[in-house]
Structure formats: structure tokens, C-alpha cells
Amino acid sequence: MMRLVRSAIAAAAVAATLIAADAGPRTAQAESTTAPIELNQSLIDRWLILMPAFGKLMKEGAAQLPEDEGRVQLERICADAGFDNADQCAQVFGYIGMILSACDGPNRRFRDPIILMRQQIAKIEADANLSLEQKDKATAELKEVVARFPNNVPEAHLRLVTANAHRIFKVAKAVYPNLTPRPERRPAP
């Protein structure tokens, strides 16, 4: 479990998605060809409670704790946030993290991260300056995530996260005060 926590802190959307995928035993819902969870307002509200507690846990050095002790603390903060169990907590954490990675700041909405990952894979694979080995290394994690989402992220999930964007970014900024928006690339005039 602490491996999962370290991954979530160390990487962005891809690692967060892998957290959700590796959270525990696969259920029929997780193996379906749709989203790994049915995202709803209640789960977003729980995520908003989880994030400050998770940030505090990380600041207190939970990543250096023995795995059993870290798991107990993580399970406690997940339960305190209202999640049914640590697996559900990890799935929601990863899934929302993946959606947040596809923020379209100027338009104040979230794009489908799976579509963006497929575009990135295609761009890397089309790069004639990279060897096959470099391409495989650069796309391995993206391909793993995309394989778990044969369909795109449901539009309803993107709308729901967009509707909660102000609250989400307020909590994220409180947890990570140095968080700054990624500058959008603008075409040259």
C-alpha cells in the first residue's frame, strides 16, 4: 500500500491511474469496458475530505513508515473521509487524479485524459528520431492505462469534475501550496 502512496505523490496522472488499477482485487465492475468506478457527487465530496488528510499524512513522513503501519494510517484516513474501504478510496483517488491531469485551464473544463494519452502515444510512435526501444519505454505506462479504458472517460464524469473544479482546486492548493497552473502553450502570433 505504501508503494501506492509513494507512486501517487511521485507521479501525476499515469501513476494515479495505476494506483486505481492496482488497488486490490479486480471486481466485475473494474474489469468492465467502462470507467473503473461510477463517479458521483458523493465520491467527489469524499475525495475533497480525503485530500487534506492525505497531504498531512505525506508531510508527516508516511512514505517512510513500514508498509503495515502506513496501510493502517491510510485506511484510517479513507474511513474518516467516508469511503467504504481502502480499495474504493484508492480507485477514486486515482480516477479523479487522472481526470485532473487533463485540465483545460483557459476553457475551465476537463478533457478526456484517455484521448490525450492516445494522442501522446501516437505522437511518440510517429517520432522518427526515436528508436523502437525509446518509443516502447516512453509509451509503456500510457499504454497500460489506455488498455484499462477501452472506452473513453464518460462525458458525465468530466462534467461532474468540471462542476466541482473550484472546490477541487481550492483543496489541492491548500494541500500543495506551491501548486501553480501549468502555462498553456499559445501559438506564436
Residue 109: beta bridge partners?
Answer: 104
pLDDT of 82 above 80: yes
The arithmetic mean of pLDDT across residues 166-170, rounded, is: 88
**35 neighbors 149 (Cβ within 8 angstroms):** yes
Could you tell me the pLDDT band of residue 157, with boundaries at 50, 70 and 90? Answer: very high
Task: Put residue 108 in one of left, alpha, beta given phi > 0 → left and psi -120 to 50 → alpha.
Answer: left
Residues 6+ apart with CB under 8 A from 83: 46, 50, 89, 92
- How much is the mean pLDDT over the chain? 77
Segment 47-71 shows an average pLDDT of 82
Which pTM was predicted?
Answer: 0.72
pLDDT at 63 over 80: no
The three-point CA angle 66-63-179 to 5° equals 170
pLDDT tens, residue by residue, 107-140: 778 899 999 999 999 999 999 999 999 999 999 9
pLDDT of residue 86 exceeding 60: yes
40-55 confidence digits (pLDDT tens)? 999 999 999 999 998 8
Return the pLDDT at 67.
79
Where does the chain have alpha helices with state H?
Answer: 2-10, 13-21, 41-59, 67-80, 86-100, 113-126, 132-147, 155-163, 165-175
pLDDT band at 97 (very low <50, low <70, confident <90, very high): confident
Of 36, 79, 30, 23, which Cα lies nearest the Cα of 54?
Answer: 79
Structure confidence at residue 186 as a pLDDT band (50, 70, 90): very low
Q: Which amino acid, residue 147?
A: A
Q: What b/e sequence results for 155-173 when a residue is b if at least 16 CB atoms lie within 10 Å of its CB, and e otherwise?
A: eebbebbbebeeebeebbe
- What is the C-alpha separation between 49 and 82, in angstroms, rounded? 8
